[in-house]
């Protein structure tokens, strides 16, 4: 049983424009570090295209149609909002990003591999049921979670999100979805200004642990040990997804938490412990944020080492 990497070259051709933080160089750095000799046993597959039906598990048809209606011709860009930019191949990249998570769920749920990491862009956790925002077009993690439930019969699906920004989109989509658990650590009072501790969910279970700006390893690990991991174990997930954002790193320019590279490995290993005990080791991770290139690459390497049991 191995770890499977999903990616696709078209994710590099989602062009957000000069000086945009969510740029192709991010994914290039991630893929470069995973080409190292120590990752030679990492299985690799190209991400397939998500179907419209699969997208509609998480998004309204009007939203899906709108995204594709505003994809611009070659050489032009379209701004859904000041932060969220489309180029001529952004629609295809978004389909491959969602498709990566769907295929990863299939591979893990059917026992082909133990776990999987999806190195894709655009990211997804800010995309709501009816809106693109925050660099995100479709919500890759939520699409994968609903696919695990609807296509594979998983009854208790959890998404854990350690991106520095709250995954408002994931929470919005899963709020009233039975059998879903979403937990997030994030910087309080940061974009998108959601994720208060009192946001609990409807039929879905939501757990938010906002951390003050300047929080470092101790507060992050305490949030996991004292709040997230006990609640996750109580939920007894039979499938676990990780929204793996690495912008809580101290070197990242987008926010003000102070995590170290080793913290991401620690968190990953703790989540794998829960998955071993409740979910037959079934874990799919998908790349979200991380905007300092060197810190992102180093953090992803630690994350994937943990997935591979290295």
> Tokens standing for 9?
């070259």
- Give CA separation, 47 vs 118, 140, 305, in Å: 8, 12, 21
Is the distance from CB of 300 to CB of 291 less than 8 angstroms? no
Task: Report the chain's mean pLDDT, rounded to a whole number.
Answer: 98
- Give all domains of the chain, ordered by start, each with its CATH number: 3-308 (3.40.800.20)
User: Which of 48, 15, 24, 20 has the alpha carbon at shortest distance from 118?
Assistant: 48
> Does the pLDDT value for residue 20 go beyond 80?
yes
The DSSP 8-state label assigned to residue 260 in this structure reads -
Helix 90-109 × helix 140-152 angle, to 10°: 40
Rounded to the nearest 10°, the torsion over CA 147, 152, 153, 156 is -60
Is the distance from CB of 205 to CB of 182 less than 8 angstroms? yes
Q: What is the pLDDT of residues 82-99, one digit of tens each?
A: 999 999 999 999 999 999
pTM over cut 0.95: yes
Number of H helices, E strands in the chain: 10, 10
Catalogue the active-site residues: 126
> Does the pLDDT value for residue 310 go beyond 90?
no
Rounded distance between C-alpha atoms, residue 284 and residue 125, angstroms? 15
Mean pLDDT on 231-240: 98
Rounded distance between C-alpha atoms, residue 23 and residue 60, angstroms? 27
pLDDT for 109? 98
User: Which of 289, 269, 296, 259 has the alpha carbon at shortest distance from 192?
Assistant: 289
Mean pLDDT on 186-211: 97
> Does the pLDDT value for residue 154 go beyond 80?
yes
- End-to-end CA separation in angstroms for the chain: 13
């Amino acid at each position: 049983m191995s770890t499977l990497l999903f990616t696709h070259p078209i994710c590099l051709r989602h062009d957000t424009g000069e000086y945009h933080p969510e740029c192709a160089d991010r994914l290039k750095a991630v893929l470069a570090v995973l080409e190292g000799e120590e990752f030679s046993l990492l299985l690799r597959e190209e991400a397939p295209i998500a179907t419209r039906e699969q997208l509609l598990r998480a998004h309204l048809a009007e939203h899906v149609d709108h995204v594709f209606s505003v994809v611009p011709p070659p050489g032009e860009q379209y701004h859904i909002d000041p932060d969220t930019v489309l180029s001529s191949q952004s629609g295809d990249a978004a389909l491959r990003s969602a498709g990566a998570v769907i295929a990863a769920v299939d591979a893990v749920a059917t026992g082909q591999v133990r776990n999987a990491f999806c190195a894709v862009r655009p990211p997804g956790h800010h995309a709501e049921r009816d809106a693109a925002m925050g660099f995100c077009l479709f919500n890759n993690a939520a699409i994968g979670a609903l696919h695990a439930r609807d296509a594979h019969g998983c009854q208790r699906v959890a998404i854990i999100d350690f991106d520095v920004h709250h995954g408002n989109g994931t929470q919005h989509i899963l709020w009233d979805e039975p059998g879903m658990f979403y937990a997030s650590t994030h910087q309080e009072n940061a974009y998108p200004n959601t994720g208060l501790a009192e946001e609990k969910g409807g039929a879905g279970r939501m757990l938010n642990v906002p951390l003050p700006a300047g929080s470092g390893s101790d507060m992050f690990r305490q949030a996991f040990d004292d709040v997230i991991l006990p609640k996750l174990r109580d939920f007894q997930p039979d499938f676990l997804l990780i929204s793996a954002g690495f912008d809580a790193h101290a070197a990242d320019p987008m926010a003000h938490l102070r995590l170290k590279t080793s913290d991401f490995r620690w968190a990953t290993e703790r989540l794998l412990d829960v998955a071993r005990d409740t979910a037959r080791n079934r874990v799919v991770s998908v790349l979200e944020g991380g905007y300092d290139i060197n810190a992102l690459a180093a953090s992803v390497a630690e994350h994937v080492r943990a997935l591979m049991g290295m």
